[in-house]
């Protein structure tokens, strides 16, 4: 055994009784029973062992040692008289002959109890993350993350992929989220950028003749935090394949991911290949989301015609979507909370009515439905004890609000949600273009380097006015699991002629493309292979596997919601000398 110990704190068993051992770890707890008897719990990375102190001198020594100090225990293993069946080492205890103080905890009071750290305020947990990580339940997530990353790496290598690291210091990207910029000391006034993703580099690897690339890639984006997104940095399983199409990418991930989810996940069931493929427009119409949770069996129904002319103002001249729940058992209080939660999340109101056991229309907007009861029941195929949730507005708004309603109804109704599984699906055929909310003009909807369905011909038709560019779809796809988007990917636009035509539609000419993406454009002019790729988020995967509520629970040292590392004090101020070396002057707005 290494590290100056004979065993770890999860290793000793009844068969070790009588052995002389040396254990090291943290003093988790000590309980004095009498003047010469105390029970000590010693914890290390692997587990805990009970130590029984029967020596007055050792007991006096321990009175001077605070909890969470690191110590070494030299003693003899013996059988416990009162065994603990819930503990792997519960059949034995160690009687110490000596105890050495290795690292003193100099504080009598801890910021929180180690074993209950998850109950503490998150800001306190992040400030003292090194103490939070001593909690075995917190540590378990990080261990699982390590195992998952190793399994992903091994699986990709088994599939013939080569692990290649790409640069961290690169050029600023004109597309996507905000860059983190790094001043270049040797080039005054110029900046590197931390990569938002290795997108251009991995495509350049394809043009270089590498056939299958992957890496567990660090990515950096200056964006706001969410429950499933960490500000600052994150990691993804980045991959790219040459001479490949959409089906090739799907086949790899459908082989790699399900065994890992089944082995390491909270649930031991994961979708078999092939995963369900749902076109984007169908997903929005059927589920109200481009990341649907397929564990829920509820779908959206169009109720626009059925409820037209009912006299309820929000339904007039709007799209109306319905979510029908059979055998509904929710109370009025639960329904009110449901509608309030939907409005908070979507910004849109939800409405409702239900059929009682006798088939009478009751509750919510029942008085508007009653005059057209038969028409509505027939159109929505309603039965007694049905609940009908409704949303209204412009088509997309009504769909999105109904999608939120569907998700919350699924969580509320166990008979409509098979929760204990990992349900994967592919969302395909995303729109190539959209009208920008701020600009009011045509913009790329997602990745500008995606291949459009229809290639050059479809772009030329849009340029000539023959078709609406908003009808063009791309070979773009999202991988979704349990309502969480794990990744976006695409078949890449590897043809410079098609690339230029695609950018022309968003008012960027050939010179703009050459200026903004010089390496990629030039490389593609030397004969690029068709290629495709994807990059599932490692942090999100582990979050799903552990069942954690936020992504910060599965990151060793996460930032807070304001992109601050409160433990290290980052971001922080730097000296004037450092700024002068970088030719930077700092101005702070009032």
**pLDDT single digits (tens) 45-102:** 999 999 999 999 999 999 999 999 999 999 999 999 999 999 999 999 999 999 999 9
Reported as a single tens digit per residue, the pLDDT across 177-205 is 789 999 999 999 999 999 999 999 999 99
Instruction: Tell me, yes or no, whether 446 and 556 share the same domain.
Output: no
Q: Has residue 30 been placed in a domain?
A: yes
Q: How confident is the model at residue 530 (pLDDT cuts 50, 70, 90)?
A: very high
Q: Has residue 29 been placed in a domain?
A: yes
Closest CA to 241 of 154, 159, 155: 159
Q: How confident is the model at residue 590 (pLDDT cuts 50, 70, 90)?
A: low
Give pLDDT, residue 32.
82
Residue 214 reports pLDDT greater than 60: yes
Give pLDDT, residue 175.
60
Give pLDDT, residue 1.
43
Q: Has residue 186 been placed in a domain?
A: yes
Closest CA to 322 of 307, 309, 337: 307
Q: How far is CA 382 from CA 310, 312, 315, 351, 374, in A?
A: 18, 20, 20, 17, 10
**Peptide bond preceding 571 in cis form (omega within 30 of 0):** yes
Of the three residues 81, 103, 125, the one that is the final residue of a domain is 103
Give pLDDT, residue 414.
92
Assigned token pair, 544: 């799903």
Least confident of 205-209, 377-381, 518-522: 518-522
Q: How confident is the model at residue 296 (pLDDT cuts 50, 70, 90)?
A: very high
Reported as a single tens digit per residue, the pLDDT across 422-479 is 999 999 999 999 998 888 899 998 778 899 999 999 999 999 999 999 999 999 999 9
Instruction: Tell me, yes or no, whether 522 and 558 share the same domain.
Output: no
Instruction: Tell me, yes or no, whether 59 and 146 share the same domain.
Output: no
Instruction: Tell me, yes or no, whether 310 and 250 share the same domain.
Output: no
Give pLDDT, residue 93.
97
Strands 424-428 and 276-279: parallel
Assigned token pair, 102: 């290795």
pTM for this model (two decimals): 0.90
Number of structural domains (the chain) is: 4
Instruction: Tell me, yes or no, whether 258 and 146 share the same domain.
Output: yes
- Separation CA 578–CA 164 (nearest Å): 33
Instruction: Tell me, yes or no, whether 144 and 229 share the same domain.
Output: yes
Give pLDDT, residue 341.
96
- Separation CA 14–CA 550 (nearest Å): 40
Q: Has residue 318 been placed in a domain?
A: yes
CATH number at residue 155: 3.30.930.10
Reported as a single tens digit per residue, the pLDDT across 112-168 is 999 999 999 999 999 999 999 999 999 999 999 999 999 999 999 999 999 999 999
Residue 2 reports pLDDT greater than 60: no
Residue 300 CB burial class (10 angstroms; 0-12, 13-18, ≥19):
buried
Instruction: Tell me, yes or no, whether 141 and 247 share the same domain.
Output: yes
Q: Has residue 51 been placed in a domain?
A: yes
Range 28-54 average pLDDT = 93
Instruction: Tell me, yes or no, whether 199 and 240 share the same domain.
Output: yes
- Separation CA 75–CA 97 (nearest Å): 5
Which range marks the domain in which residue 148 is found? 137-269+534-581
Q: Has residue 125 been placed in a domain?
A: no
Q: How far is CA 268 from CA 258, 276, 546, in A?
A: 10, 19, 12
First to last CA, the chain: 60
Of the three residues 417, 444, 462, the one that is the final residue of a domain is 417
Residue 174 reports pLDDT greater than 70: no
Mean of pLDDT over the chain: 94
Instruction: Tell me, yes or no, whether 164 and 260 share the same domain.
Output: yes
Residue 569 reports pLDDT greater than 90: yes
- Separation CA 65–CA 63 (nearest Å): 6
Instruction: Tell me, yes or no, whether 145 and 232 share the same domain.
Output: yes
Instruction: Tell me, yes or no, whether 404 and 374 share the same domain.
Output: yes
Q: How far is CA 142 from CA 259, 391, 541, 546, in A?
A: 20, 41, 13, 10
For residues 250 and 274, the answer to whether their CB atoms sit within 8 Å is yes
CATH number at residue 359: 3.30.1360.30
Q: Has residue 171 been placed in a domain?
A: yes
DSSP state of 524: H
Strands, E assignment, 429-559: 433-435, 442-444, 476-481, 484-491, 531-534
- Separation CA 243–CA 206 (nearest Å): 9
Give pLDDT, residue 3.
65
Give pLDDT, residue 513.
87
Longest dimension (CA), the chain: 94
Q: If DSSP codes are grouped into helix, strand and coil, which group holds residue 123?
A: helix
Range 478-507 average pLDDT = 94
Instruction: Tell me, yes or no, whether 172 and 215 share the same domain.
Output: yes
Helices (H) and strands (E) in the chain, counts: 17, 22
Q: Has residue 3 been placed in a domain?
A: no
């Amino acid at each position: 055994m290494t590290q100056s110990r004979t065993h770890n704190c999860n290793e000793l068993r009844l068969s070790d009784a009588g052995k002389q051992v040396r254990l090291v770890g943290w003093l988790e707890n000590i309980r004095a029973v009498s003047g010469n008897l105390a029970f000590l719990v010693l914890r290390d990375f692997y587990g805990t062992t009970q130590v029984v102190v029967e020596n007055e001198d050792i007991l006096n020594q321990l009175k001077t040692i605070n909890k969470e100090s690191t110590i070494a225990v030299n003693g003899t293993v013996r059988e416990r008289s009162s065994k603990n069946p819930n503990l792997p080492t519960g059949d034995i205890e160690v009687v110490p002959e000596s105890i050495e103080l290795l690292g003193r905890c100099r504080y009598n009071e801890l910021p929180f109890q180690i074993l209950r750290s998850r109950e503490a305020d998150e800001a306190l947990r992040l400030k003292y993350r090194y103490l939070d990580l001593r909690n075995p339940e917190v540590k378990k997530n990080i261990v699982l993350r390590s195992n998952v990353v190793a399994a992903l790496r091994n699986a990709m290598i088994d599939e013939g992929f080569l692990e290649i690291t790409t640069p961290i210091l690169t050029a600023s990207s004109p597309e996507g989220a905000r860059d983190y910029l790094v001043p270049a000391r040797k080039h005054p006034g110029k900046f590197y950028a931390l990569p938002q993703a290795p997108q251009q580099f991995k495509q350049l690897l394809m043009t270089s003749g590498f056939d299958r690339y992957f890496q567990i890639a660090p990515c950096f984006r200056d964006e706001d935090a969410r429950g499933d997104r960490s500000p600052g940095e994150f990691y993804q399983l980045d991959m790219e394949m040459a001479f490949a199409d959409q089906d090739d990418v799907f086949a790899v991930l459908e082989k790699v991911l399900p065994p890992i989810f089944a082995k390491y996940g909270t649930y031991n069931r994961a979708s078999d290949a092939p995963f369900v493929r749902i076109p984007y427009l169908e997903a929005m119409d059927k589920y109200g989301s481009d990341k649907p949770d397929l564990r829920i069996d509820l779908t959206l129904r169009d109720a626009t015609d059925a409820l037209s002319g009912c006299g309820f103002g929000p339904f007039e001249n709007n799209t109306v979507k319905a979510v029908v729940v059979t055998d509904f058992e929710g109370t009025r209080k639960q329904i009110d909370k449901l509608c309030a939660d939907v409005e908070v999340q979507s910004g849109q109101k939800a409405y409702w009515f239900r059929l009682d056991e006798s088939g009478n229309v009751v509750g919510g907007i029942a008085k508007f439905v009653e005059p057209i009861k038969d028409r509505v029941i027939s159109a929505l195929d309603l039965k007694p004890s049905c609940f009908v949730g409704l949303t209204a507005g412009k088509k997309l708004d009504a769909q999105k609000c109904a999608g939120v309603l569907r998700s919350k109804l699924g969580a509320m109704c166990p008979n409509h949600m098979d929760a204990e599984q990992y349900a994967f699906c592919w969302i395909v055929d995303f729109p190539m273009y959209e009208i920008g909310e701020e600009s009011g003009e045509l913009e790329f909807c997602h990745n500008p380097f995606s291949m459009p369905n229809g290639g050059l011909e479809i772009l030329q038709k849009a340029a000539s006015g023959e078709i609406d560019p908003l009808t063009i779809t791309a070979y773009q796809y999202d991988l979704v699991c349990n309502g969480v988007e794990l990744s976006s990917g695409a078949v890449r636009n590897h043809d410079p002629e098609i690339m230029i035509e695609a950018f022309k539609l968003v008012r960027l000419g050939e010179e703009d493309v050459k200026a903004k993406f010089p390496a990629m454009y030039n490389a593609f002019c030397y004969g690029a292979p068709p290629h495709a790729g994807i990059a599932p988020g490692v942090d999100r995967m582990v979050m799903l596997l552990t069942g954690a509520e936020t992504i910060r629970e599965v990151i060793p040292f996460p930032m807070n919601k304001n992109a601050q590392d409160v433990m290290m004090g980052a971001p922080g101020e730097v000296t004037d000398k450092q700024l002068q070396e970088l030719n930077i002057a700092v101005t702070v707005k009032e």
